[in-house]
Amino acid sequence: MFQLHPEKQDDWWEVEALYDLCFAPGRTALSSYRLRDGVDPITDLSLVARDGDGILAGAIRVWPVMVAGQLALLTGPIAVHPTRQGEGLGGLLIRETIDRARRTGWHRMLLVGDHPYYGRFGFTKLHDVVMPAPTNPDRVLGLDLIKNAWVGIAGPVEKAGGNL
């Protein structure tokens, strides 16, 4: 069984190593990372999952961003160690992050990812929200944490100023 905890400062490099293992080389060159530069992830919503021996099995980080003057949660990266994939841990991390975001009063989430996977958590394509180029627009997905949270919100995703 896995224990989920908010990521602490001491977890940072271990989580980075997990992301390096799970993503293609050069992941930090992706344009979505420019929205994260110099902005702290949201500590209550960025989670690590450890097994009974304390070994890191998965992690998710969440950043604040702005869209059309409104705050949103840029969700990810999320990764599960290759030896732990397919056991439901990715789903557990995403659902726990969504629950915590709702409980702490956030209104909307977005991410860049595969709809066949994220659709099961309620994410749908955001037709009017634009991630920095060269992001594939079909992979820009959003989730309402309150009713109609994405209605009428259109425009580029921008970096949030300061730390929240």
Binding region for ligand COA (CB under 6 A) = 22-23, 76, 78-80, 85-91, 113-114, 116-117
Give the nearer residue to ligand COA in terms of CB position, either 105 or 116: 116
Give the nearer residue to ligand COA in terms of CB position, either 16 or 164: 16
In angstroms, give the least distance from the CB of 18 to ligand COA: 8
* Per-residue b or e along 45-67, where b marks 16 or more CB atoms closer than 10 Å to that residue's CB: bbbbbbeeeeebbbbbbbbbbbb
In angstroms, give the least distance from the CB of 162 to ligand COA: 27
64 HSE (CA, 13 A, CB side)? 16
Rounded Cα distance, 127 and 60, in Å: 25
In angstroms, give the least distance from the CB of 155 to ligand COA: 22
DSSP 8-state class, residue 145 = S
Give the nearer residue to ligand COA in terms of CB position, either 68 or 115: 115
Rounded Cα distance, 109 and 82, in Å: 26
The CA-atom distances, in angstroms, between 135 and each of 3, 33, 52, 99, 131 are 33, 12, 38, 27, 6
Give the nearer residue to ligand COA in terms of CB position, either 83 or 162: 83
In angstroms, give the least distance from the CB of 118 to ligand COA: 8
In angstroms, give the least distance from the CB of 152 to ligand COA: 26
Give the nearer residue to ligand COA in terms of CB position, either 89 or 101: 89
Rounded Cα distance, 118 and 128, in Å: 18
